[in-house]
Amino acid sequence: MEVYQAIQALLDRALACEMIKQQDEIYARNQIMALLGLDEFIDNGSCQDGAGIPDILDALADYAAEKGIIEGLDSQREIFSARIMNVLIQRPSDVNALFYEKYNADPNLATDYFYELSKNSNYIQTKQIAKNISYSYESDYGMLDITINLSKPEKDPKQIAIEREMKSAVLEYPKCLLCIENEGYAGRIGYPARSNHRIIGLELGGESWYLQYSPYVYYNEHCIVLSAEHRDMKISRGAFTRLLEFVGKFPAYFLGSNADLPIVGGSILTHDHYQGGKYDFAMAKAEANYSFQLGGFPSIEAAMLKWPLSAIRIRGKNPEELADAADKIFETWMGYSDPEAGIEAFTGGTRHNTVTPIARMRDGQFEMDLVLRNNRTSDEHPLGIFHPHSDVHHIKKENIGLIEVMGLAVLPARLENELKEIKKYLLGEKAEVKEYHLAWANEMKEKHAAELSPGSVSAIIRQNVGAKFARVLEDAGVFKQTEEGKRAFRKFTDLLG
């Protein structure tokens, strides 16, 4: 694809998905030409091979690298591509105005518009996300989602060296990856390009918040809702209020928060934010093990869920009353200890108990799941007692955050090649199986000896990875799904009555 055809193809795609109007075409062409160092435009038609926007941007970045406009580092290509797309996206005020014009007709029209814009602008990395390996696993708790995360490309060694050199000059703008200062930020080596980034202003709980989508969506319409203020994550009644207010405004979406303590929290605890989307996780479909009455809240339905992590579901029509009920459960749990179940609320003045809350609308009622978390460690489990234990670290060692809590495994990219070697090993071929996988591979070889074949081996490995993830979630549960664990859980819910 030569450069003039690529420019025209990009303009054609932008027109087709209504990012620009016909009157904008010449202006946009000239702006893109300037970025490419072109003084004239030769109309050679448009590329007819059906290339999508990400492929066209790759072609333009190739041209820019060839002409010395940029170096060929992934980071510089990303920055350059985002600058090109910024030409084709309206200013934040116009994006917000159109969003709310559509919202006033139907909230779904607004989110549909903004999600499509975020994909078409290449802010959501659709080409990279398509590389992920994803499938479902039928567990005792419902259909779990398994993803091997291949969407973030490996860094070039030269880029790694530049980033290492730059560490001595730490920049504090933007303050973090979630801050509002990211909107339109060009990016730099070691910091992602955000020229093509737009956010939607919201009011939640009387505060300024913003809606955006995740650049690497793990599920349909994976959104992030972030505070305008750069402040630490905190679970509180205010958080419950904001979660419920959001799903009231966008009833097709759920919204949840990572826990606010290390080990059981998410990857970014330094900026108050939530994650949501238009997707039904296995947890949302979980049945109740038993129902109970929540003291002081006769109109609120409460139940303990059949889920590997310890979860309480509450439902009601009044969001303020539901926030009060959630706060009662949270405050009670923060001070709760049960030494027989291995639960200690404090070590000295250090708090260990918190919750992972998830809000949604269902059948015209507000619903909130509160997942009980504890981040205590021990000599036997130095990474966390209620954290994936060492025998599953070969599959998942990282924190169990909000997404995993709901039943979606985000597994490390290393597994792609490691599982290929295990596949060879199971078929009796020469293979280089990592030592930390060897016991598991031998267990599969023995367990599935009668059914192993080239046609079945991939499905067998996937099933066993799924079973490991179910175990990961069980490890993170403070009350286990055993008769003894259920009795211990009931002791806590009796206290709430």
Alpha carbons within 13 angstroms on the beta-carbon side of residue 118 total 26
Per-residue pLDDT band for 50 (boundaries 50, 70, 90) equals: confident
Q: What is the pLDDT of residue 170?
A: 64
Q: How far apart are CA 153 and CA 155, in angstroms?
A: 6
Phi and psi at residue 392, in whole multiples of 5°? -115, 5
Q: What's the predicted TM-score (pTM) here? A: 0.94
C-beta of residue 343 within 8 angstroms of C-beta of residue 336: yes
Q: What's the whole-number average pLDDT of the chain?
A: 94
- pLDDT exceeds 70 at position 312: yes
Task: Indicate the range of 33-37, 91-95, 398-402, 463-467 predicted with least confidence.
Answer: 398-402
- pLDDT exceeds 80 at position 46: no
What dihedral angle (degrees, nearest 10) is formed by the CA atoms of 461, 465, 471, 475? 140
Q: How far apart are CA 285 and CA 306, in angstroms?
A: 10
Average pLDDT of the segment spanning 465-471: 97
Instruction: Give rounded-to-5 percent helix, strand, coil for the chain.
Output: 40, 20, 40
CB atoms within 10 A of CB 337: 14
Q: How far apart are CA 215 and CA 119, in angstroms?
A: 9
Q: What is the pLDDT of residue 161?
A: 62
- pLDDT exceeds 90 at position 388: yes
- pLDDT exceeds 70 at position 159: no
- pLDDT exceeds 70 at position 165: no
Among residues 207, 10, 140, 217, the alpha carbon closest in space to that of 467 is found at 140
**Type of residue at 302:** A
> DSSP for 296-353?
T-TT-EEEEESSSS-EEEEEES-HHHHHHHHHHHHHHHHT--BGGGTB-SEETTEE-E
**Type of residue at 68:** G
Q: What is the pLDDT of residue 44?
A: 82
Q: How would you label 248-282 residue by residue, b for 16+ Cβ within 10 Å and e otherwise?
A: ebbeebbbbbbbbbebbbbebbebbbbbbbbbebb
Helices (H) and strands (E) counted in the chain, each on its own, are 15, 15
- pLDDT exceeds 70 at position 112: yes
Q: Rounded to 5 degrees, what angle do the CA atoms 449, 455, 461 make?
A: 60
- The string of pLDDT tens digits covering residues 33-43 is 999 999 999 98
C-beta of residue 297 within 8 angstroms of C-beta of residue 325: yes
Average pLDDT of the segment spanning 386-403: 95
CB atoms within 10 A of CB 347: 10
CB atoms within 10 A of CB 404: 24
- pLDDT exceeds 80 at position 280: yes
Q: Which class for 313: exposed (0-12), middle (13-18), buried (19 or more C-beta within 10 A)?
A: buried
- pLDDT exceeds 60 at position 282: yes
Residues in the chain: 497
- pLDDT exceeds 70 at position 153: no
How large a percentage of the chain has pLDDT more than 90? 91
Q: What is the pLDDT of residue 168?
A: 53
- pLDDT exceeds 90 at position 156: no
Q: How far apart are CA 66 and CA 60, in angstroms?
A: 10
Question: What secondary structure letter does DSSP report for 225?
Answer: E
Q: What is the pLDDT of residue 72?
A: 84
